[in-house]
């Protein structure tokens, strides 16, 4: 099966088709509309001259040491070059120039640790911290182009480490702190990182959770890693190797100034790994000029950001692209003041987020539907205890937001005053692509509405023809955009096959979508073997490989089943090896063992919600597992068409086994 195969998983409306009957509309608040950063004319401007529009954005958002000669070079499509010949430094743009412009005292981050410790970091502080870290990396031999892996929790040093890398032109690869040692090792090896930056541990639900042991385990298999730089966060005991260095011993003694060098607009900024439809994660490569333009412009326009007034909070982890674009690069390029929170929403109590909004007077909040649904479960009386009156724009990202969650968010958090911007994008797109504009768009609950100015999206049928209003199909992007991935690290062929071969000339996003009668877009979830669990992107194949790597498992099939809170949940069907005794095969202990095995191989977020031991799996005549049927079983739906099954009795057996197990 190729990456872009959509066999048997067409863009079904399913439960979401009823969304299209949603008729509620929310006009932008008059005052916001009157003072909005962008008005309705922006769409026409961008449609008339797309490249001119992005060139203006690049000029408005960034300080270039050398201006570009050409906005876009698409002559070697699908390999794009944006702002060809331009030169700039990402860290200078994010930090130094704001200090030079007299804003050194402006707060860049109000940081809130989970145990309640806080730090306030101004742009001037950040400039010193980043300069010291850059000097330290130079001392450790980091040169332009070298890769640095960052495995860190939500602390200011994570931002500092990223910017220090960017300052030196050393692409960073941030690996989410929830990933396992194996996942970290694979990523370090794939991009050949020479330095790893990490911490002793992090605070999680009131406990100290060690991170360093996973690094030790990973680095043991990475002989080319020269050093591991360790930030002290919790102070817990850590094992020490001869590669390890304390951050405070190496960084704190460095000079607080460092002269940034300007790099080519297409210089690699970072690699971010994400799951594809095969077992091997893809290293998504983002470069400098286009990416920064895209995330800064969208951050300014979609959130209507007023840098001198707003307190902005993206409540996501820096280890995902949302954090890269809307905690780090977008907000800092725009000179914004952000909140950054280390911990979980219910530590020490379920009102923690609302307490933070109240305390820092947050005016823009950006989070995921899965979190909103969790808050819904906890009850509206929790946020009602806090003053949320400073909020003026609410954002959503990561998965389709169901109208019920949208309305709850708007009403209980936004007190019916705030627009909700449902922003569709991906790791690959670098920044937001489809979203309302809060001062322009009359929002519909559940719809991401229209492509942003300068972005061209459409919905096409199997043959690649745009569908009419009222119809569904596959979401495609029909023109290149500045934040687009440039390739998959080390694998140009996979880049072409995955994104550009399903519909020639168009970027295939992997999502199903519908156009409603007004032509507005409704995202319907993935159409490939990728799941979206609580906003985390997981590959069915990757979890299957993890299960099969367990000595007791012969074969497995994984599906994403609809889940009330997490959107989708992982359900695994497993065929055990003949050597496993029957009484063990039925036991809960084995299921727990397999779930923990997946956590160890990938991450706790990939743990199956359910593991079902089966005797056989449904397959097509060509041997492809029919996940669609398994999903029906997992969701207790009536089974779909089984005519292409090699042996249709398999499904009866699986269903019967399930019924017996209940």
Residue number with CB closer to ligand WT7 (233 or 537): 537
Stretch that binds ligand WT7, among 162-170, 425-433, 481-489, 604-612 (CB under 6 A): 425-433
User: Is 398 a known ligand-binding residue?
Assistant: yes
287 touching ligand WT7, by CB under 6 A: no
User: Is 586 a known ligand-binding residue?
Assistant: no
Rounded to a whole number of angstroms, the minimum distance from the CB of residue 72 to ligand WT7 is: 23
What 8-state DSSP symbol labels residue 620? B
User: Is 422 a known ligand-binding residue?
Assistant: yes
Rounded to a whole number of angstroms, the minimum distance from the CB of residue 175 to ligand WT7 is: 14
DSSP H or E segment with residue 596: helix 588-601
Residue number with CB closer to ligand WT7 (180 or 423): 423
Question: How many Å apart are CA 77 and CA 564, to the nearest integer?
Answer: 41
Q: Are 136 and 195 in contact (CB under 8 A)?
A: no
Interacting residues with ligand WT7 between 514 and 533 (CB under 6 A): 523, 526, 532
447 touching ligand WT7, by CB under 6 A: no
98, 286, 537, 595: which one contacts ligand WT7 (CB under 6 A)? 537
User: Is 661 a known ligand-binding residue?
Assistant: no
Token pair in block for residue 480? 């290149």
Token pair in block for residue 517? 């009668």
The Cβ of residue 484 has, within 10 Å, a number of other Cβ atoms equal to 24
Rounded to a whole number of angstroms, the minimum distance from the CB of residue 322 to ligand WT7 is: 5
Residues 589-611 as b or e (16 or more Cβ within 10 Å = b): ebbeebbebbbbbbbebbbbbeb
Q: Are 181 and 156 in contact (CB under 8 A)?
A: no
93, 122, 423, 541: which one contacts ligand WT7 (CB under 6 A)? 423
Stretch that binds ligand WT7, among 10-18, 20-28, 288-296, 503-511 (CB under 6 A): 503-511
From the list 650, 647, 648, 654, the residue with the least C-alpha distance to 610 is: 654
From the list 62, 61, 60, 67, the residue with the least C-alpha distance to 87 is: 67
Q: What is the DSSP string of 391-455?
A: --EEEEESSPPPHHHHHHIIIIITTTTS-EEEEB--GGGSS--B---TTT--B-TT--BSBPTT-
User: Is 412 a known ligand-binding residue?
Assistant: no
**DSSP strand pairing (507-515 vs 472-477):** antiparallel
User: Is 207 a known ligand-binding residue?
Assistant: yes
Stretch that binds ligand WT7, among 69-77, 241-249, 421-429, 625-633 (CB under 6 A): 421-429
Rounded to a whole number of angstroms, the minimum distance from the CB of residue 400 to ligand WT7 is: 4
> Angle at the Cα of 9 (from 4 to 10), degrees rounded to 5?
90
Residue number with CB closer to ligand WT7 (114 or 511): 511
Question: How many Å apart are CA 351 and CA 363, to the nearest integer?
Answer: 17
Per-residue binding string, ligand WT7, 448-467, x by CB under 6 A, is x-------------------
Rounded to a whole number of angstroms, the minimum distance from the CB of residue 431 to ligand WT7 is: 9
Question: How many Å apart are CA 126 and CA 93, to the nearest integer?
Answer: 12
**Count of residues engaged in binding ligand WT7, rule: CB under 6 A:** 21
Question: How many Å apart are CA 130 and CA 125, to the nearest integer?
Answer: 9
402 touching ligand WT7, by CB under 6 A: no
Interacting residues with ligand WT7 between 602 and 631 (CB under 6 A): none
Number of alpha carbons in the 13 Å side-chain half-sphere of residue 36: 24
Stretch that binds ligand WT7, among 110-118, 355-363, 398-406, 590-598 (CB under 6 A): 398-406
Q: Are 431 and 425 in contact (CB under 8 A)?
A: yes
Rounded to a whole number of angstroms, the minimum distance from the CB of residue 205 to ligand WT7 is: 23
427 touching ligand WT7, by CB under 6 A: yes
Residue identified by tokens 């906005």 is 71
Rounded to a whole number of angstroms, the minimum distance from the CB of residue 403 to ligand WT7 is: 13
Q: Rounded to 5 degrees, what are φ and ψ at 311?
A: -115, 115
- What region does 543 belong to: left with phi over 0, alpha with psi -120 to 50, or beta? alpha
Question: How many Å apart are CA 383 and CA 389, to the nearest integer?
Answer: 11
Token pair in block for residue 476? 């495609």
Stretch that binds ligand WT7, among 219-227, 355-363, 409-417, 509-517 (CB under 6 A): 509-517
Question: How many Å apart are CA 620 and CA 626, to the nearest integer?
Answer: 7
Stretch that binds ligand WT7, among 32-40, 148-156, 416-424, 607-615 (CB under 6 A): 416-424
511 touching ligand WT7, by CB under 6 A: yes
Q: Which residues pair with 82 in a beta bridge?
A: 72
Token pair in block for residue 102? 């007299």
112 touching ligand WT7, by CB under 6 A: no
Per-residue binding string, ligand WT7, 322-361, x by CB under 6 A, is x---------------------------------------
Rounded to a whole number of angstroms, the minimum distance from the CB of residue 316 to ligand WT7 is: 8
Q: Rounded to 5 degrees, what are φ and ψ at 199?
A: -130, 165
User: Is 324 a known ligand-binding residue?
Assistant: no
Instruction: Give the CA distances from residue 40 to residues 56, 202, 296, 438, 450, in Å, rounded to whole numbers and listed in that order.
Output: 17, 45, 19, 11, 13
Rg (CA), the chain: 24
Per-residue binding string, ligand WT7, 252-281, x by CB under 6 A, is ----------------------x-------
510 touching ligand WT7, by CB under 6 A: yes
User: Is 60 a known ligand-binding residue?
Assistant: no
Stretch that binds ligand WT7, among 110-118, 371-379, 418-426, 635-643 (CB under 6 A): 418-426
Stretch that binds ligand WT7, among 209-217, 290-298, 370-378, 508-516 (CB under 6 A): 508-516
263, 312, 360, 425: which one contacts ligand WT7 (CB under 6 A)? 425
175, 214, 397, 633: which one contacts ligand WT7 (CB under 6 A)? 397
User: Is 399 a known ligand-binding residue?
Assistant: yes
From the list 440, 433, 388, the residue with the least C-alpha distance to 419 is: 440
From the list 212, 214, 215, the residue with the least C-alpha distance to 232 is: 212
* Contact residues for 308 (Cβ-Cβ < 8 A; gap 6+): 106
Residue number with CB closer to ligand WT7 (274 or 337): 274
321, 357, 391, 547: which one contacts ligand WT7 (CB under 6 A)? 321
Rounded to a whole number of angstroms, the minimum distance from the CB of residue 273 to ligand WT7 is: 10
Biggest distance spanned by C-alpha atoms of the chain: 73
Residue number with CB closer to ligand WT7 (110 or 313): 313
User: Is 322 a known ligand-binding residue?
Assistant: yes
Binding residues for Mg(2+): 548, 550, 553
Binding residues: 204-207, 322, 398-400, 422-427, 511, 526, 537, 548, 550, 553
Binding residues for ATP: 398-400, 422-427, 511, 526, 537
Binding residues for CoA: 204-207, 322
Judged by the rule CB under 6 A, the positions of this chain that interact with ligand WT7 are 274, 321-322, 397-400, 422-427, 448, 509-511, 523, 526, 532, 537
């Amino acid at each position: 099966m190729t990456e872009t195969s959509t066999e048997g998983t067409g863009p079904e409306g399913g439960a979401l088709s009823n969304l299209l009957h949603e008729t509620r509309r929310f006009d932008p608040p008059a005052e916001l509309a009157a003072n909005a950063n962008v008005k309705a004319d922006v769409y026409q401007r961008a449609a008339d001259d797309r490249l001119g529009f992005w060139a203006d954005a690049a000029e408005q958002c960034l300080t270039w040491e050398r201006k570009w000669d050409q906005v876009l070079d698409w002559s070697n499509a699908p390999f794009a070059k944006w702002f060809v010949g331009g030169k700039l430094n990402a860290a200078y743009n994010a930090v130094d120039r704001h200090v030079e412009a007299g804003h050194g005292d402006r707060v860049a981050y109000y940081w809130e640790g989970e145990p309640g410790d806080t730090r306030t970091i101004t742009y001037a502080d950040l400039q010193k911290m980043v300069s010291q870290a850059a000097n330290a990396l130079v001392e450790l031999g980091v040169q332009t182009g070298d890769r640095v892996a960052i495995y860190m929790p939500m602390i200011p040093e994570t931002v500092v480490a990223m910017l220090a890398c960017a300052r030196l032109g050393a692409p960073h690869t941030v690996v989410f702190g929830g990933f396992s040692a194996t996942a970290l090792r694979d990523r370090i090896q794939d991009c050949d990182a020479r330095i790893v930056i990490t911490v002793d541990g992090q605070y999680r639900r009131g406990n100290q959770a060690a991170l360093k042991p996973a690094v030790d385990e990973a680095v043991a298999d990475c002989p080319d890693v020269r050093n591991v730089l360790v930030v002290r966060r919790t102070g817990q005991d850590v094992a020490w190797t001869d590669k390890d260095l304390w951050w405070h011993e190496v960084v704190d003694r460095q000079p607080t100034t460092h002269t940034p060098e300007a790099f080519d607009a297409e210089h690699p900024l970072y690699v971010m790994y994400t799951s594809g439809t095969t077992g091997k994660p893809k290293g998504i490569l983002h470069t400098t000029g286009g990416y920064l333009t895209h995330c800064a412009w969208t951050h300014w326009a979609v959130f209507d950001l007023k840098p001198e007034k707003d307190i902005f909070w993206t409540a996501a982890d820096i280890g995902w692209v949302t954090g890269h674009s809307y905690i780090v690069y977008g907000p800092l390029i725009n000179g914004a003041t952000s909140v950054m929170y280390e911990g979980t929403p219910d530590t020490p109590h379920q009102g923690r987020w609302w307490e933070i909004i109240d305390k820092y007077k947050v005016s823009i909040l950006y989070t995921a539907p899965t979190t909103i649904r969790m808050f819904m479960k906890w009850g509206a009386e929790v946020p009602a205890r806090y003053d949320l009156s400073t909020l003026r724009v609410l954002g959503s990202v990561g998965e389709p937001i169901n109208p019920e969650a949208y309305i709850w968010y708007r009403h209980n958090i936004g007190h019916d005053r705030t627009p909700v911007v449902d922003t569709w994008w991906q790791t690959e797109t670098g920044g937001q692509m489809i979203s309302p504009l809060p001062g322009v768009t009359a929002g519909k609950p559940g719809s991401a509405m229209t492509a942003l100015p300068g972005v061209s999206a459409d919905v096409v049928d199997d043959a690649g023809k745009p569908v009419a209003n009222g119809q569904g199909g596959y979401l495609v992007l029909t023109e290149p955009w500045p934040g687009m991935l440039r390739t998959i690290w080390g694998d140009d062929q996979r880049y072409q096959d995955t994104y550009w071969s399903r519909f020639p000339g168009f970027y295939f996003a992997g999502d199903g979508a519908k156009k409603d009668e007004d032509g507005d877009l409704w995202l319907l979830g993935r159409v490939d073997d990728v799941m979206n669990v609580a906003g985390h992107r997981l590959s069915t194949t990757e979890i299957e490989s993890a299960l099969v790597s367990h000595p007791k498992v012969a074969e497995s099939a994984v599906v994403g089943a609809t889940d009330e809170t997490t959107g989708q949940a992982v359900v695994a069907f497993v065929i055990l090896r003949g050597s496993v005794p029957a009484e063990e095969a039925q036991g809960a202990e084995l299921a727990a063992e397999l779930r923990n095995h997946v956590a160890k191989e990938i991450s706790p977020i990939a743990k199956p919600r359910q593991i079902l031991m089966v005797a056989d799996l449904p397959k097509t005549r060509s041997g492809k597992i029919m996940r669609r049927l398994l999903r029906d079983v997992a969701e207790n739906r009536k089974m779909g068409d089984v005519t292409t099954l090699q042996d249709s009795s398999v499904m009866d057996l699986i269903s019967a086994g399930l019924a017996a197990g209940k």
